[in-house]
Structure 1
Amino acid sequence: MSSSASGILLFAHGARDPNWARPFEAAAEALRQRALAAGDAALAAHIRLAFLEFMSPDLPAAGRELAEAGCTAVTVVPLFLGAGGHVRKDLPRLMTELSEAHPDVTWTLSAAVGETALLIQALADSAWQLAHPAQPVA
Protein backbone atom coordinates (compact mmCIF):
# COMPACT_ATOMS: atom_id res chain seq x y z
CA MET A 1 0.00 0.00 0.00
CA SER A 2 1.32 3.46 -0.88
CA SER A 3 1.39 6.43 1.47
CA SER A 4 -1.77 8.26 2.51
CA ALA A 5 -3.40 10.14 -0.34
CA SER A 6 -6.60 11.73 -1.55
CA GLY A 7 -8.61 10.49 -4.49
CA ILE A 8 -11.49 11.51 -6.71
CA LEU A 9 -14.01 8.98 -7.90
CA LEU A 10 -16.15 10.20 -10.80
CA PHE A 11 -19.46 8.35 -10.93
CA ALA A 12 -21.55 8.11 -14.11
CA HIS A 13 -24.64 6.11 -15.04
CA GLY A 14 -23.26 3.79 -17.70
CA ALA A 15 -24.78 2.49 -20.93
CA ARG A 16 -24.67 -0.55 -23.16
CA ASP A 17 -23.01 1.43 -25.96
CA PRO A 18 -19.28 1.80 -25.20
CA ASN A 19 -19.17 5.10 -27.12
CA TRP A 20 -21.43 6.63 -24.46
CA ALA A 21 -18.50 6.65 -22.00
CA ARG A 22 -16.18 8.73 -24.19
CA PRO A 23 -17.08 12.17 -22.75
CA PHE A 24 -16.74 10.82 -19.21
CA GLU A 25 -13.39 9.21 -19.97
CA ALA A 26 -12.27 12.53 -21.50
CA ALA A 27 -13.43 14.36 -18.36
CA ALA A 28 -11.46 11.96 -16.15
CA GLU A 29 -8.35 12.48 -18.26
CA ALA A 30 -8.80 16.27 -18.24
CA LEU A 31 -9.10 16.12 -14.44
CA ARG A 32 -5.86 14.10 -14.25
CA GLN A 33 -4.13 16.68 -16.44
CA ARG A 34 -5.45 19.49 -14.23
CA ALA A 35 -4.06 17.77 -11.12
CA LEU A 36 -0.69 17.32 -12.85
CA ALA A 37 -0.66 20.98 -13.93
CA ALA A 38 -1.34 21.93 -10.30
CA GLY A 39 1.68 19.86 -9.27
CA ASP A 40 -0.35 17.11 -7.62
CA ALA A 41 0.86 13.92 -9.31
CA ALA A 42 -0.40 11.84 -6.38
CA LEU A 43 -3.97 13.05 -6.91
CA ALA A 44 -3.65 12.56 -10.67
CA ALA A 45 -2.77 8.92 -9.98
CA HIS A 46 -5.86 8.54 -7.77
CA ILE A 47 -8.61 9.66 -10.13
CA ARG A 48 -11.02 6.94 -11.19
CA LEU A 49 -14.21 6.71 -13.23
CA ALA A 50 -16.94 4.28 -12.14
CA PHE A 51 -20.39 3.41 -13.41
CA LEU A 52 -23.74 2.54 -11.87
CA GLU A 53 -24.64 -0.09 -14.45
CA PHE A 54 -23.73 -1.73 -17.76
CA MET A 55 -20.04 -0.66 -17.63
CA SER A 56 -16.98 -1.39 -15.55
CA PRO A 57 -15.71 -0.68 -13.08
CA ASP A 58 -18.66 -0.21 -10.78
CA LEU A 59 -18.43 2.04 -7.73
CA PRO A 60 -17.44 -0.70 -5.23
CA ALA A 61 -14.61 -1.92 -7.50
CA ALA A 62 -13.24 1.56 -8.20
CA GLY A 63 -13.53 2.47 -4.52
CA ARG A 64 -11.70 -0.71 -3.51
CA GLU A 65 -8.93 0.14 -5.98
CA LEU A 66 -8.47 3.61 -4.44
CA ALA A 67 -8.53 2.20 -0.91
CA GLU A 68 -5.94 -0.43 -1.84
CA ALA A 69 -3.81 2.32 -3.42
CA GLY A 70 -3.62 4.00 -0.01
CA CYS A 71 -6.24 6.71 -0.33
CA THR A 72 -7.57 7.76 3.05
CA ALA A 73 -9.94 10.43 1.69
CA VAL A 74 -11.99 10.05 -1.50
CA THR A 75 -14.49 12.49 -2.94
CA VAL A 76 -17.20 10.86 -5.03
CA VAL A 77 -18.44 13.24 -7.74
CA PRO A 78 -21.68 12.24 -9.49
CA LEU A 79 -21.46 13.04 -13.20
CA PHE A 80 -25.22 13.41 -13.45
CA LEU A 81 -27.10 16.43 -14.81
CA GLY A 82 -29.65 16.25 -12.02
CA ALA A 83 -30.11 14.62 -8.66
CA GLY A 84 -32.74 12.05 -9.61
CA GLY A 85 -33.36 8.67 -8.06
CA HIS A 86 -29.90 7.29 -8.76
CA VAL A 87 -28.21 10.19 -6.96
CA ARG A 88 -30.76 10.49 -4.15
CA LYS A 89 -31.35 6.77 -3.50
CA ASP A 90 -28.84 4.43 -5.15
CA LEU A 91 -25.72 6.48 -4.52
CA PRO A 92 -26.21 6.98 -0.75
CA ARG A 93 -26.66 3.19 -0.40
CA LEU A 94 -23.47 2.62 -2.38
CA MET A 95 -21.65 5.20 -0.25
CA THR A 96 -22.70 3.33 2.89
CA GLU A 97 -21.38 0.10 1.37
CA LEU A 98 -18.05 1.80 0.57
CA SER A 99 -17.78 3.12 4.13
CA GLU A 100 -18.51 -0.29 5.59
CA ALA A 101 -16.08 -2.08 3.25
CA HIS A 102 -13.31 0.48 3.75
CA PRO A 103 -13.74 2.12 7.18
CA ASP A 104 -10.25 3.65 7.12
CA VAL A 105 -11.24 5.83 4.15
CA THR A 106 -13.27 9.02 4.50
CA TRP A 107 -15.79 8.94 1.66
CA THR A 108 -17.30 12.35 0.79
CA LEU A 109 -20.22 12.68 -1.62
CA SER A 110 -20.33 15.93 -3.59
CA ALA A 111 -23.33 17.46 -5.33
CA ALA A 112 -24.07 16.26 -8.86
CA VAL A 113 -22.11 18.24 -11.44
CA GLY A 114 -25.36 19.28 -13.11
CA GLU A 115 -26.27 21.28 -10.01
CA THR A 116 -23.23 23.54 -10.31
CA ALA A 117 -23.44 27.03 -11.76
CA LEU A 118 -20.39 26.26 -13.88
CA LEU A 119 -22.05 23.35 -15.70
CA ILE A 120 -25.40 25.12 -16.01
CA GLN A 121 -23.61 28.01 -17.74
CA ALA A 122 -21.64 25.58 -19.94
CA LEU A 123 -24.91 23.95 -21.03
CA ALA A 124 -26.39 27.33 -21.90
CA ASP A 125 -23.23 28.36 -23.77
CA SER A 126 -23.17 25.08 -25.67
CA ALA A 127 -26.86 25.37 -26.61
CA TRP A 128 -26.28 28.94 -27.80
CA GLN A 129 -23.28 27.94 -29.89
CA LEU A 130 -25.14 25.00 -31.46
CA ALA A 131 -28.19 27.14 -32.26
CA HIS A 132 -26.13 30.14 -33.46
CA PRO A 133 -22.86 28.73 -34.84
CA ALA A 134 -21.89 32.02 -36.50
CA GLN A 135 -22.19 34.03 -33.29
CA PRO A 136 -19.56 33.79 -30.58
CA VAL A 137 -20.50 32.81 -27.04
CA ALA A 138 -20.29 35.90 -24.85
Structure 2
Amino acid sequence: MKNYSVKKTHMKAIILFGHGARDSRWREPFDRLASLWQQQQSGTPVQLAFLEMMQPSLAEAVANLSAQSATQITVVPVFFGQGGHLRNDFPVLLDACKAQFPNIVLSATPAVGEDSSVLQAIVDFGVRAL
Protein backbone atom coordinates (compact mmCIF):
# COMPACT_ATOMS: atom_id res chain seq x y z
CA MET A 1 0.00 0.00 0.00
CA LYS A 2 1.26 3.40 -0.91
CA ASN A 3 0.97 6.20 1.60
CA TYR A 4 -0.25 9.31 -0.15
CA SER A 5 0.13 12.41 1.91
CA VAL A 6 -2.13 15.33 1.24
CA LYS A 7 -0.20 18.51 0.63
CA LYS A 8 -1.62 21.50 2.41
CA THR A 9 -1.28 24.67 0.47
CA HIS A 10 -0.50 27.78 2.42
CA MET A 11 -1.97 30.88 0.91
CA LYS A 12 -0.20 33.98 2.11
CA ALA A 13 -1.87 37.37 2.35
CA ILE A 14 -1.05 40.80 3.68
CA ILE A 15 -2.95 43.41 5.66
CA LEU A 16 -1.86 47.03 5.45
CA PHE A 17 -2.87 48.40 8.85
CA GLY A 18 -3.37 52.13 9.36
CA HIS A 19 -4.64 54.37 12.13
CA GLY A 20 -7.81 55.69 10.53
CA ALA A 21 -9.28 59.19 10.53
CA ARG A 22 -12.59 61.01 10.43
CA ASP A 23 -11.86 62.54 7.03
CA SER A 24 -12.46 59.88 4.37
CA ARG A 25 -9.83 61.49 2.11
CA TRP A 26 -7.15 60.47 4.63
CA ARG A 27 -7.35 56.88 3.40
CA GLU A 28 -6.65 57.74 -0.25
CA PRO A 29 -2.90 57.01 -0.02
CA PHE A 30 -3.74 53.68 1.65
CA ASP A 31 -6.08 52.81 -1.21
CA ARG A 32 -3.30 53.69 -3.69
CA LEU A 33 -0.84 51.57 -1.68
CA ALA A 34 -3.19 48.58 -1.74
CA SER A 35 -3.73 49.11 -5.48
CA LEU A 36 0.04 49.19 -6.09
CA TRP A 37 0.36 45.97 -4.08
CA GLN A 38 -2.33 44.30 -6.20
CA GLN A 39 -0.64 45.42 -9.42
CA GLN A 40 2.82 44.26 -8.38
CA GLN A 41 2.03 41.25 -6.17
CA SER A 42 -1.13 39.89 -7.76
CA GLY A 43 -0.55 36.40 -6.35
CA THR A 44 -0.77 37.62 -2.76
CA PRO A 45 -4.09 39.09 -1.65
CA VAL A 46 -4.05 42.40 0.20
CA GLN A 47 -6.56 44.05 2.50
CA LEU A 48 -6.57 47.38 4.26
CA ALA A 49 -7.50 47.55 7.94
CA PHE A 50 -7.75 50.42 10.39
CA LEU A 51 -7.33 50.84 14.11
CA GLU A 52 -10.23 53.25 14.50
CA MET A 53 -12.70 55.52 12.72
CA MET A 54 -12.54 53.60 9.42
CA GLN A 55 -13.48 50.19 8.12
CA PRO A 56 -12.57 47.44 7.86
CA SER A 57 -11.24 46.65 11.30
CA LEU A 58 -8.33 44.24 11.69
CA ALA A 59 -10.72 41.39 12.57
CA GLU A 60 -12.89 42.17 9.52
CA ALA A 61 -9.85 42.17 7.24
CA VAL A 62 -8.67 38.82 8.65
CA ALA A 63 -12.17 37.42 8.13
CA ASN A 64 -12.20 38.69 4.52
CA LEU A 65 -8.86 37.05 3.78
CA SER A 66 -9.87 33.88 5.58
CA ALA A 67 -12.92 33.70 3.29
CA GLN A 68 -10.44 33.85 0.37
CA SER A 69 -8.62 30.81 1.85
CA ALA A 70 -5.68 32.69 3.35
CA THR A 71 -3.80 30.59 5.89
CA GLN A 72 -0.86 32.90 6.62
CA ILE A 73 -1.43 36.62 7.06
CA THR A 74 1.22 39.24 7.70
CA VAL A 75 0.04 42.54 9.13
CA VAL A 76 2.12 45.54 8.10
CA PRO A 77 1.54 48.58 10.33
CA VAL A 78 1.68 51.59 8.03
CA PHE A 79 2.72 53.87 10.87
CA PHE A 80 5.80 56.04 11.02
CA GLY A 81 6.90 54.72 14.42
CA GLN A 82 6.05 52.53 17.38
CA GLY A 83 3.83 54.90 19.38
CA GLY A 84 1.32 53.94 22.01
CA HIS A 85 -1.14 52.52 19.49
CA LEU A 86 1.37 50.02 18.17
CA ARG A 87 2.90 49.21 21.55
CA ASN A 88 -0.38 48.92 23.47
CA ASP A 89 -3.51 48.70 21.29
CA PHE A 90 -2.24 46.73 18.29
CA PRO A 91 -0.94 43.68 20.22
CA VAL A 92 -4.34 43.33 21.93
CA LEU A 93 -6.13 43.43 18.55
CA LEU A 94 -3.68 40.98 17.01
CA ASP A 95 -4.03 38.55 19.93
CA ALA A 96 -7.83 38.78 19.69
CA CYS A 97 -7.62 37.91 15.99
CA LYS A 98 -5.31 34.98 16.74
CA ALA A 99 -7.89 33.67 19.21
CA GLN A 100 -10.79 34.29 16.81
CA PHE A 101 -9.00 32.69 13.83
CA PRO A 102 -6.91 29.83 15.28
CA ASN A 103 -6.42 28.19 11.87
CA ILE A 104 -4.65 31.24 10.47
CA VAL A 105 -1.01 32.02 11.18
CA LEU A 106 -0.97 35.74 11.97
CA SER A 107 2.25 37.72 12.23
CA ALA A 108 3.20 41.38 12.15
CA THR A 109 6.11 43.46 10.99
CA PRO A 110 7.50 46.53 12.74
CA ALA A 111 6.07 49.91 11.71
CA VAL A 112 7.04 50.76 8.13
CA GLY A 113 8.66 54.00 9.31
CA GLU A 114 11.27 52.01 11.21
CA ASP A 115 12.64 50.42 8.05
CA SER A 116 15.81 52.06 6.76
CA SER A 117 14.71 51.78 3.11
CA VAL A 118 11.48 53.64 3.92
CA LEU A 119 13.45 56.35 5.69
CA GLN A 120 15.79 56.57 2.71
CA ALA A 121 12.81 56.91 0.36
CA ILE A 122 11.69 59.92 2.42
CA VAL A 123 15.18 61.45 2.19
CA ASP A 124 15.14 60.86 -1.57
CA PHE A 125 11.71 62.49 -1.78
CA GLY A 126 13.07 65.54 0.06
CA VAL A 127 16.10 65.72 -2.23
CA ARG A 128 13.83 65.71 -5.29
CA ALA A 129 11.88 68.60 -3.75
CA LEU A 130 14.99 70.81 -3.61
Using structure 1 for the length normalisation, give the TM-score.
0.84
Computed over aligned residues only, the root mean square deviation of the Cα atoms, in angstroms, reads 1.2
Deviations 1:96-138 (A, max 9, x none): 00100000000011111001111101111122223x1xxxxxx
Deviations 1:13-43 (A, max 9, x none): 011111111111101110111113xxx2xx1
Q: How does 1:23-102 map to 2 (within 5 A)?
A: 23-36=29-42, 40=43, 43=44, 46-102=45-101
Q: What does residue 128 of structure 1 align with?
A: 127
Counting matched residue pairs gives 122
Distance 2:84 2:63 in 1: 24
Q: Based on CA coordinates, which of the two structures has the bigger radius of gyration?
A: 2
| Secondary structure of 1:108's aligned partner | strand
Identity between Structure 1 and Structure 2 (%): 37
Using structure 2 for the length normalisation, give the TM-score.
0.89
Q: How does 1:7-22 map to 2 (within 5 A)?
A: 7-22=13-28
Distance 2:38 2:87 in 1: 27
Extract unaligned runs of 5+ from structure 2.
1-8
Query: Which letter does structure 1 place at the counterpart of 2:40?
Result: R
Q: Which is worse superposed, 59-68 or 98-107?
A: 59-68
